[in-house]
Structures are given as C-alpha cells and as structure tokens.
Amino acid sequence: MPKLHILKVFVGDTEGGGNPLGVFLDGREIPEEDRQSVAADLGFSETVFVDDAERGEVRIFTPGTELPFAGHPLVGTAWLLKRESYAVPTLRPPAGEVSVRESGGLTFITGRPEWAPAFDHIQLDSPADVDALSGPPGGHDLAGVWTWIDEEAGDVRVRVFAPRLGVEEDEATGAHAVRLAALLRRRITIHQGEGSIILAEPQADGSVEIGGRVDLVETRDY
C-alpha cells in the first residue's frame, strides 16, 4: 500500500501558514496512468511522486495537470528526502536540475523563471486592496496579485489565483515567487495566503533561489 507523507511548506510565524503537500516517496508504486486521478482525489494544490529518491527524480501533479516545475513541492520534497536519509544535492523534475541546500532550519531550491507558469503579475496599491479580493481580478485564470508591505525592506504581500491549473487560490506558490523575484530583480520576503512566508532571491545566472520552513503533518497509507 503506498505511503503518503503530508507536509506544510513555507510555514510562517502563525499556525495558519504553510501550503499542504502530498508526497509519495515510492512513487513507482502508483502507475503513471493513475497519478493524475490520485492528485485530484487528494485535492492538494500539488502532489509529488518520487520515482528515484537517490537521484532526486520527481513528478509533480496539480488536481488538473502535470507541471514540469513547481516551488513548494520541490522545497517540501527536498526537506522530506533529507529527513528520510536521502540528502540529495539536486532534484530532477521534468524541467531540469534543481539545486538544493539547507540553512538555519530552512530548505532552499533554485529554479529558472522560464520553468514556471506564465503568471499575470497584477500590482495593487496596498495590502488591504490585495486582502479585499474575493477572487482573481478581471477574470484572470493564472495571476499573482501583489503589493509592497515595505519596499525598502523587500516585504511583499501576495495572493495567487490559478484556476487554470485546478487551484482556485494557492496558500503559498514557489513558482510565482521565482517569477516575481526575477521581475523585481531583488531579494524579497513574500507574505502569502493565511500566513505563509517565502524567501526569494535572484542569482547571478538568472535563476532564483526560494526557500522556507517545512513541517510534517502526518504519514499514512493511501
């Protein structure tokens, strides 16, 4: 019976933060043709199937589609692999090689902006305007809505709406963080959802490193 690990990724300073993630460390137990339906059944914004733990080979599914790259699934999987004695320096989703590091109890991965979905970036005037939204503005179906909390400090308020991917609103979106940090060309601290925190910093080669805290919620049979 497949073993499912449920994590919270990009956990902030409050209990409400962190994006739920499902990870099957022995993903090969679930046939490829069944993975989309399993992800839809679980209902997390993403579910990861680890095909080779020692090499870091992974596949990522939303409830509606497979993604070549996604931030919170890769951060969470990197953390879990280390916890389970597979401290791989590189993850290998379909998009390409993703470097991994740990620092100060946080897990970081590095990805390229072009690997992430092409989010529409919508800047509003204030955090109150972002918080007041009841859904994606203007009918956008893949949008990151953001504003400065403190521009000098690099603190940003973000909400991400992705119905195109089968996710009405995401609690914490690493792929969008990669895109936004590349757009702003600076290190930022993203405050997303109900209390999630994502650290993001552009690198000299055009990639972006993102990271945060990960917690294990439970392990159960699926």
pLDDT (tens digit per residue) in 91-106: 999 999 999 999 999 9
| Percentage of the chain lying above the pLDDT 70 cut | 100
CB atoms within 10 A of CB 68: 13
How are beta strands 120-123 and 143-150 bridged, if at all? Answer: parallel
Quote the radius of gyration of the chain (alpha carbons, Å): 16
Domains annotated for the chain, with CATH where assigned, are 3-111+210-221 (3.10.310.10), 115-206 (3.10.310.10)
Q: What pLDDT score was predicted for residue 16?
A: 72
Q: What pairs with residue 121 in β-bridges? A: 144
User: How sure is the predictor about 139, in pLDDT bands with cuts at 50, 70 and 90?
Assistant: confident
DSSP class of residue 92 equals B
- Coil vs helix vs strand at 37: helix
Partners of 99 in the β-ladder: 90
Distance CA 212, CA 178 (A): 13
**Rounded distance between C-alpha atoms, residue 212 and residue 198, angstroms:** 6
- Arithmetic mean of pLDDT over the chain: 96
Q: What is the pLDDT of residues 148-185, one digit of tens each?
A: 999 999 999 999 999 998 899 999 999 999 999 999 99
Residues 11-51: tens digit of each pLDDT: 998 767 899 999 999 999 999 999 999 999 999 999 999 99
The percent of the chain in helix, strand and coil, each rounded to the nearest 5, is 25, 40, 35
% of the chain exceeding 90 in pLDDT: 94
- Residue pLDDT, tens place only, 55-65: 999 999 999 99
